[in-house]
Structure 1
């Protein structure tokens, strides 16, 4: 409340200063009356009048152009209305200028009464429209109002032209050769003054909603408009300094209104655009800063995750080595050594995933082809028999799989390869192993493993098997991979496992 009161006081002071500046010519003329007061001759005054009115017409058309052609972008109904109002002012001011005594006849004979009738109509029209504009919101509700606003001033101008040109008796006389300006003319000027004072008060209250800056030029303009009407209501001769001062006031007021319309229609949108651009620049800078911080944080987390993978791999390798060393203390116990070897194979299947993740840019997934190839090579080397020649065929699609899928696949393949090398080729000097992995048309992964060894007994019950290896394969396939597993009994071992692709989601 304190700031609003202060702003209101400052605005009143500004308006008061403009009023003092506008009133300043009156005491100067009175003080230096003998030096400044004059009555012009008709030709020079006519030249001045035409220049002043031409300037007013030019400014009025500029106001119309700015208000009308910027409306599609600004959507400012208040400015649009003022622009179309000044189209009517420009047309009727032009009629007033062309109908002035001393100018070539404008359709019908020119006379002081004819030009003054145009003058009175346009002054009352302008003042009344200023009053209406004070209550128009800036916001647009309907595009059709644009054409309504345009038709109204054109219609007023047309009616004024027809009535004054062809039916002048319908309008009261404003000037006579015997008495000069008539009471109707003077009272009409006072009526226009009253309307302008009302418009000025209404615009003052408009400031509360739309602010000082968009409305200050209209308030300043009304000050000069009111004084202009006052001069034209009380001057004694058409050619004296007060009449000239009135035209100057009119020019100044039109210029101020033009500036207000220009600011509302052009400066304000551009200022909003510049403000928005500045905000966007600040946001871009802030986003860049945040992105840089996130990149640093992500880099640190990637380094940390890679370190975790590296240490996990090393830890698993150490555990496998410890188990193998512990088994070495029982050199005569083949079962212990076998358990140690199988456990070490399983540990390697897990640690290999961490080693590959550590080497990859993607910290969540690894190449299934590379993983299967390296795992198979390791298991075959760890269980190789110099007297046996084993041929391995790997047909694996080059896909990326998550570590949550890779580890179960590694445990399954490690178990199958170890069993094949231990039991499948006992009575032969060679053998063949085949591994395939692909995505089937139904959107599931399929893992096939087979060898041409002795296979499993025809009546072997895989579901109720007591073998730890078989139990591990079934548990991993059905629980961890949520898949389906099928075995083939008899010679030439074969197992097929299919499971959903999207069972796990990416987490890193």
Structure 2
């Protein structure tokens, strides 16, 4: 509660500071009036006036552009409403600038009264628009057909142009060369100040719902708008210091409104996107760590299972068949475990390098070769690419069986032997795996389909069922197995 009060106090301190900064130049002019007051000559003042009004017009059109073109994405009704209002403000400010005394005639003779009539109308329009905008919510897509809104500023601008240009005598006089500002002009400025004050108060009540950061620039802008109208209510000629100060206030207020609109329609959405991206990145990192931990634990679990099987096999020390079965199970476990180790250590959580995997599997097979009388060499020619672990595990189980068969049976009574493994992707969008050795091979009449070898049955079953591939064996000397399978049988899931 204390924090909320302190935060609210800071708001009012900021508002008070803005009031002080806006009032300070007026106070200085009043206190040092004889020293600082001046009336400019027409040409220099016109340069300043055109620059100031051009800036206001550009900012007005920029606010319209931001509100209009971001609405489809942001659905920010408040910004769209202000943008549409500033379209009318920009058009009428242009009329005010072109109708100023000293400028080339805008269809009819220019005069201080003509430009001031444009000024009063556009300031009334702006003040009423600002007050109405306080009641327009943000981000709810209030306006289904935004094109219809354009009729209001265009209609008001057109009527203003026709009325002031051709029927100026029917409108109240705002400036007279004999008396300067008329009573109507001064009263109008104070009415405009009253409306702007109501807008400022109304925006104060937007803070609890939409936040201080989304409201402060409008509040500051209305403070400077009030100050601008105040000095325009007391100037003597259209070329004096009050007129200059009023236009400076106007520039500041328009810039603050543009900043508020830009923050609401551009900065805030992008900031929300960045915040969402950061949250998603953190969430993704947590999930990646979780998946890595799963791979790590799966690897540990496989090792524990292998160790338990070895311990169980020790109960049958004199049974070579049990020993053989246990070692084969160990080889199969290691072929799966190696995949999990590579996934855990790599950046990609769904794919591993097939070259790195086959190299690791080959080294494991050589290290566990108990046929010490035969020196084996494994030659690999592997296309370096990433494969999904759904593919790699079946490939590993196939190679594990083939390597075991070669090591156990292919090289009896010889001092050395060679094993070759080739893997590549063909132009037919299929992977090709070729395994061969220069051992004794298989009998010419050997029927691989009806054989009783568990290893050969596993190789055929895995190749055809898990890889949806085609398998071919070569009989006779120098065993060879060729497998080709599609490259798109599994989809990335992590």
TM-score relative to the length of structure 2? 0.66
Where 1:395 maps in the other structure, the secondary structure is coil
Shift of 1:64: 1.7
Q: Distance in 2 between matches of 1:292 and 1:305?
A: 20
Q: Distance in 2 between matches of 1:397 and 1:107?
A: 105
- For residue 140 of structure 2, give the secondary structure of its aligned residue in structure 1: coil
User: Structure 2: 5+ residue runs without aligned partners?
Assistant: 338-392, 409-444, 466-494
1:359 and 2:331 are equivalent in the alignment: yes
Match of 1:237 in 2: 237
CA 1:114/1:288 → structure 2, altered by over 3 Å: closer, same or farther?
same
Shift of 1:392: 9.3
* Displacement of 1:221: 0.6
Question: Cα gap change, 1:2/1:303 in structure 2, threshold over 3 Å: closer, same or farther?
Answer: same
Deviation (angstroms), 1:188 = 1.5
Contact 2:76–2:141 under 8 Å retained in 1: no
Matched, 1:41 2:41: yes
What residue is the counterpart of 1:198 in the other structure?
A: 198
Tell me, in whole angstroms, the C-alpha distance in 1 between the residues paired with 2:331 and 2:43.
Answer: 98
- 1:380-433 Cα distance to aligned partner (Å, 9 max, x none): xxxxxxxxxxx99663599999xxxx9xxxxxxxxxxxxxxxxxxxxxxxxxxx
Matches of residues 81-120 of structure 1 in structure 2 within 5 Å?
81-120=81-120
**1:306 Cα deviation (Å)?**
1.9
Structure 1 residues 138-192: Cα deviation after superposition (integer angstroms, max 9, x where no partner): 1132563422333321221112112222333443222234433222222221111
Q: Secondary structure at the residue paired with 2:135?
A: coil
Q: Secondary structure at the match of 1:150?
A: helix
Deviations 1:85-134 (A, max 9, x none): 11111100000111112211112222222211111110010011111111
CA distance in structure 1 between the partners assigned to 2:170 and 2:306 by the alignment: 97
Secondary structure of the corresponding residue to residue 200 of structure 1: helix
Shift in Å at residue 304 of structure 1? Answer: 1.0
| 8 A Cα contact 1:313 1:355, kept in partner | no
- Give the Cα separation in 2 of the matches to 1:395 and 1:11: 85
Task: Tell me how far 1:72 sits from its aligned partner.
Answer: 3.0
* 2:295 is equivalent to residue 295 of structure 1: yes
Aligned to 2:449: 395
Determine the C-alpha separation between the residues in 2 that align with 1:182 and 1:193: 17
Q: Deviations over 1:277-313 (max 9, x none)?
A: 3223323433333333333222211211222233344
**Structure 1: segments with no counterpart, 5+ residues:** 322-343, 378-390, 407-435, 442-508
1:268 Cα deviation after fit:
1.4
Moved more, 301-310 or 242-251: 301-310
What is the CA–CA distance in structure 2 between the aligned matches of 1:177 and 1:143, rounded to whole Å?
46
Relative to 1, partners in 2 of residues 1:12 and 1:85: Cα closer, same or farther, differing over 3 Å?
Answer: same
Provide the C-alpha distance between the structure 2 equivalents of 1:282 and 1:136, rounded to a whole number of angstroms.
36
The verdict on how the C-alpha distance between 1:30 and 1:173 changes in structure 2, with shifts beyond 3 A counting, is closer
Match of 1:478 in 2: none
SS in 2 for 1:47: helix
Q: CA RMSD in A?
A: 3.6
Match of 1:175 in 2: 175
The alpha carbon displacement at 1:49 in A equals 1.7
- Structure-2 separation of matches of 1:128 and 1:353: 90
Q: CA deviation at 1:370?
A: 6.9
Whether the 8 Å CA contact 2:74–2:139 is kept in 1: the answer is: no
1:263-287 superposed Cα distances (whole Å, 9 cap, x missing partner)? 1122212222222232233234333
Whether 2:276 is the aligned partner of 1:276: answer: yes
Is 1:72 the equivalent of 2:72? yes
Counterpart Cα distance in 1 of 2:201 and 2:225: 14
- Corresponding position of 2:386: none
Q: Given the alignment of the two structures, is residue 228 of structure 1 paired with residue 228 of structure 2, yes or no?
A: yes
Say which one has the larger Rg: 1
Structure 1 residue 19 displacement after superposition: 0.9
Report the CA distance shift for 1:397/1:183 in structure 2 as closer, same or farther (over 3 A): farther
Change (3 A) 1:162 1:293: same
Of stretches 135-144 and 253-262 in structure 1, the one that deviates more from structure 2 is 135-144
CA contact 2:234–2:242 (8 Å) conserved in 1 = no
Q: How many residues align?
A: 366
User: How far off its partner does 1:25 sit?
Assistant: 0.9
Q: Scaled by the length of structure 1, what TM-score is found?
A: 0.64
